[in-house]
A and B are shown apart, each in its own frame.
Chain A
Amino acid sequence: MDNILEIKGLSTYFHTRAGVVKAVDDVSFAIERGSTVALVGESGSGKSVTSLSVMRLVQPPGEIVAGEILFNGKDLVKASEAAMRRLRGAAIAMIFQDPMTSLNPVYTVGDQIAEAIRQHEKLPKSAAWTKAIAMMQRVKIPDAERRAKDYPHQLSGGMRQRVMIAMALSCNPELLIADEPTTALDVTIQAEILELLRALKDDFELSMLLITHDLGVVAETADRVEVMYAGRIIEDAPVRDLFHQPQHPYTEGLLRSVPKLREVGLKRRRLDTIEGTVPNLLALPDGCKFAPRCAYKIADCTTGEIPLISIRADRRARCIRYDAVGDEAARTQTRKQQA
């Protein structure tokens, strides 16, 4: 299998006054060339720090303390700062949630795209400008020539995100990291941007790392999903399998707590929830980090580290009771024993 990115045993810690926060703890996964991998989790689960680690953009007090990040076989953790600078925005590009804070308010968007192009390609200004306009047309910004002379505040949120995408793709990256690219957008605009990303992925032969908390976006966009909880990957599966048969109680809980269209004539019911809250990363429980909130918890869950178990060649789950997940009888029985 040809992997564009392979992360092995990545740990990124933040050294704070209150103690060491293991924001990313022994994370391993791979992105097959041409595919989209989604990194899913709630706030504080470590998904953004994972992506920042790939770009080597973790700032002190944060630090990559262990692991390898193999991009086309080359370890980025060991790469020099100069080499990283050549890579960022060229071979690996990134788009962020809020395009307004990622764009410079005092330059026109055309200038900013041209500037990004000239960072990596030796082009005269006029050629870079022409290319910038061509890029804006490729991300379907209408009337690109005129829009290029606009400042960020003159564009709508959706258009600004398109500008960000144009800038990210201007140097033909191989890997695009999209960190919550549609979270700040309205749902109709979100649909357009997701569609655009899908089309551009084929056009540019991109591989994509998509970071999101929206399971709907995952279902539509990803080929493979990594679910994160408290800095670790707790489930890794092809997208269909994950949605049809989650094998970690947390994934199951996440899927169940999304409101769905109710059956005709049915009265509204209570939503399924995951009880409790995400644990404090400074005071993690022993054993399984999810155990305090888990409906399948047994005594063995709280003794020793729970490994990421390979269930099949392409599926892993960090749960010793993965075969019980989804089994209503097992849930009720466990509940009784817990009580």
Chain B
Amino acid sequence: MKRPEPKLVNNKLEAKELMMQDSTPRMPEVLIEVKNLKKYFPAGDGWFGKGMDVVKAVDDVSFTIRQGETFGLVGESGCGKSTTGRCILRLLEPTAGAVNFAGQDLLSVDSANLRRLRRDMQIIFQDPYSALNPRMRVGQIIEEPLTIHRLGAKAERRDRVAELLKLVGLDPSHAERYPHEFSGGQRQRIGIARALALNPKFIVCDEPVSALDVSVQAQVVNLLQDLQEQLHLTYLFISHGLSVVEHISTRVGIMYLGKLVEVATSEEIFRNPLHPYTRALLSAIPKPEPDEKRNRLKLTGEIPTPINPPSGCRFRTRCAMAEGRCAEVEQQLVEVSPDHFVACMVVAP
């Protein structure tokens, strides 16, 4: 698989990088490998560090993202999906684990190399209102990554900004305007243009359409899909909106309380969910079909706190299928059929 032609090849640095890439062997199939990732936050009544509680936001999560695919990460608030995304980009420093990006260990590289690698990894945020600096013109916002990485001369950067605006369906003349002059959907397009400025390979989309109206949501989802095809991008798509994730993702991981409980292809997970939590989650989506018969699987109780999660399986306190042994042993992800992993000893012993 070949990387798309970067637009700024007349720039020395970029050209050098291109040459280096051509000499390296073929792109591996797996672009990102997350291994035993952990992120703990200190919390609560610590007084001079004594008796400090720990929030296990992400606790031993492993998965891979393949070149060119969209990996959907789904779960309810507080399950650790956004923290996982941020740890992969090292916007948050993970507590333990490893993240491999195109063969390089992201967690052990020094800051200079990390900076270089960051060009290949970008992020789009949920709230397009707070992700854009209100005092900067749209052109400056999109140009900023190029300036920071010292790419191209001024005129080249201007051209690149115009090109990026067109790419995301905006008009090049919009570069002179300020973020407040745009609607939510347009602002999200600006955020996407900024993320694309450095020709990344990988983009973390953190709830990119959750704050948008339905009709605008569809426009942005289509744009993300088109860009992926055009530019051969790989996405980590983080969302609580299950239908959007089903639509856009190649494979999906379901998180609960800091753990991955099920990973499978999008089709498989939505048609043949195995983990009791996945099933409950899917049955809870309200469907826009008034005649549909609903067999809702009810969850009992509330999500426990990640400070003191239940022993064994973390979902057992709300699970209708829980047995005695669920409290004792923590089940790992088991491959039940090709590419379908479940962490539940009742349905997949």
Contacts and interface: CB of A to CB of B under 8 A. Distances in A.
B45 interface: no
B238 interface: no
Interface residues of B: mostly helix, strand, loop or mixed? helix
Interface in B231-284: 240, 242-244, 246-248, 267, 270-271, 280-281, 283-284
Contact of B271 (A156, A159, A264): A264
Contact of A259 (B183, B185, B186, B244): B244
B5 interface: no
Interface in A250-276: 253-255, 257-262, 264, 268, 270-274
Given A186-B240, A187-B242, A261-B270, A272 B218 contact: yes
Contact of A190 (B215, B225, B286): B286
Interface residues of A, number: 44
Interface stretch (A10-18, A121-129, A214-222, A309-317): A214-222
A267 to B, nearest CB: 10
A333 interface: no
B47 to A, nearest CB: 21
Interface string B50-92: 0000000000000000000000000011000000000000000
B118 to A, nearest CB: 29
Contact of A188 (B216, B221, B280): B280
Given A187-B240, A259-B246, A213 B214 contact: yes
A158 interface: yes
Contacts of B302: 156, 158-159
Contacts of A206: none
A219 B286 contact: yes
A221 B23 CA distance: 60
A234 to B, nearest CB: 14
A264 B216 CA distance: 26
Nearest to B303: A156
Given A42-B215, A188-B76, A218 B288 contact: yes
A191 interface: yes
A30 interface: no
B12 interface: no
A191 B186 contact: no
A284 to B, nearest CB: 16
B288 A216 contact: yes
Nearest to A44: B213
Contact of A277 (B183, B286, B298): B183
Contact of B248 (A157, A243, A258, A268): A268
What are the 10 closest A-B residue pairs judged by CB atoms, nearest first?
A: A216-B286, A259-B247, A257-B218, A42-B213, A186-B76, A191-B284, A271-B218, A274-B215, A215-B288, A273-B218
Interface of B: 76-77, 183-186, 213-219, 221-222, 225, 240, 242-244, 246-248, 267, 270-271, 280-281, 283-292, 294, 296, 298-299, 302-303
13 contacts: A157-B77, A187-B284, A188-B284, A190-B286, A191-B296, A216-B285, A220-B286, A220-B290, A240-B291, A261-B246, A271-B218, A274-B215, A278-B183
Given A157-B77, A239-B290, A271-B247, 5 more contacts: A187-B242, A187-B281, A188-B76, A261-B243, A277-B186
